[in-house]
């Protein structure tokens, strides 16, 4: 498998310059960042949550952890929790489980991005496999995905102390 077809088609159709890279097999965003020699703050990690009767995508830097309690206060859903991989596996037919790109809009789901990811000029993200990544300008990502900004992420080191 290579780049997720929907993501590749979207980037090419919109003439967005991107860099496709490959790396050793890695499953976590922190491992991918290390394999790509990318700062963890530039590596976008994709999470899928169940929000009432739908799925939503949350994107944050690899060095951050989602504070679901804070997110519940930010978003207008009565029920919000991390989805299990078995719950969302069928939503991303062109991606390996856990390696989906942060383009939830291409898969019929709203996308929320933590404000800490916006601070970098470029972002790197999984491209549908555990060995492929894409690097694009954050401005291009924002234009294509039109995510809503949230502020519910906390640094991993703070999360470990809680």
pLDDT of residue 63: 94
Is 160's pLDDT higher than 90?
Answer: no
pLDDT of residue 142: 97
**Domains in the chain, please, with CATH?**
5-160 (3.90.960.10)
pLDDT of residue 162: 54
| CB contact set of 131 (below 8 Å; sequence gap of 6+) | 22, 23, 24, 25, 26
pLDDT of residue 159: 57
pTM of the model: 0.93
Is 150's pLDDT higher than 70?
Answer: yes
Reported as half-sphere exposure (CB side, CA atoms, 13 A), residue 160 has a value of 5
Residues in a beta bridge with 134:
20, 125
pLDDT of residue 48: 97
pLDDT of residue 114: 96
| pLDDT 10s digits, 60-111 | 999 999 999 999 999 989 999 999 999 999 999 999 999 999 999 999 999 9
Task: Report the C-alpha gap between 53 and 156 in whole angstroms.
Answer: 29
| pLDDT 10s digits, 109-144 | 999 999 999 888 999 999 999 999 999 999 999 999
5, 13, 95 from 144: Cα distances, Å: 15, 11, 19
Of 1, 25, 43, 23, whose CA–CA distance to 136 is shortest? 43
- 3: pLDDT confidence band, cut at 50, 70 and 90? confident
| pLDDT 10s digits, 29-62 | 999 999 999 999 999 999 999 999 999 999 999 9
């Amino acid at each position: 498998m290579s780049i997720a077809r929907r993501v590749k088609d979207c980037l090419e159709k919109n003439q967005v310059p991107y860099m496709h890279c490959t790396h050793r097999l890695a499953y976590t965003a922190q491992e991918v960042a290390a394999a790509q020699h990318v700062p963890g703050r530039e590596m976008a990690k994709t999470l899928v949550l169940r929000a009432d009767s739908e799925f939503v995508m949350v994107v944050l830097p690899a060095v951050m952890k989602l504070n679901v309690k804070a997110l519940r206060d930010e978003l207008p859903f009565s029920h919000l929790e991390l989805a299990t991989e078995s719950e969302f596996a069928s939503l991303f037919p062109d991606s390996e489980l856990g390696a989906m790109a942060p383009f939830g809009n291409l898969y019929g789901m709203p996308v929320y991005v933590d404000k800490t990811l916006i601070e970098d000029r470029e972002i790197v993200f999984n491209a549908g496999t555990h060995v492929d990544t894409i690097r694009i300008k954050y401005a291009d990502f924002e234009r294509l995905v039109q995510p809503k900004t949230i502020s519910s992420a906390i640094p991993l080191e703070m999360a470990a102390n809680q």
